[in-house]
Structure 1
């Protein structure tokens, strides 16, 4: 029973570390998603692009961006 009363809560420093780690992992996941969607955009034909309302110039501009932006 005494062990239940001695439960330690994470320190502020530990919480900040996890918060930073979460931010890094979120940014990495976002970069992967951007790379995936741009790869799919690069595979679309003119008809598919026009269905989405994307011009050829818009497509090229998007494909020229690095995955981290």
Structure 2
């Protein structure tokens, strides 16, 4: 009789999940900081207050495609 091993997540899977989570948390942090920039700083980076607030209001999981790709 053949035994089937219980599924255990491999270390690389948990590392990839951790990296994904770190990227999503970083996106949330960056969006909060973007919302806090003054008008002069926003002008320096070339975006309007409206664009900054629109970006800042996006949920953390709504990250750019390049952030969602796993290494």
| Length-normalised TM-score, structure 1 | 0.69
For structure 1, which runs of at least 5 residues remain unmatched after alignment? 1-12
Runs of 4+ off more than 2 Å: none
**How do 1:35-50 residues align onto structure 2 when only pairs under 5 Å count?**
35-50=28-43
Which residue in the other structure is 1:22 paired with? 15
Q: Pick one of 54, 62, 66 that aligns with 2:59.
A: 66
| Length-normalised TM-score, structure 2 | 0.67
C-alpha RMSD of the superposition = 1.8
Matched, 1:32 2:25: yes
How many residue pairs match? The answer is 56
Structure ranking higher in helix proportion: 1
Spell out, residue by residue over 1:8-58, the C-alpha distance to the aligned partner (whole angstroms, 9 max, x if none): xxxxx87x7112101110011001111111111111111110011011222
Distance 2:16 2:54 in 1: 27
| Larger of the two Rg values belongs to structure | 1
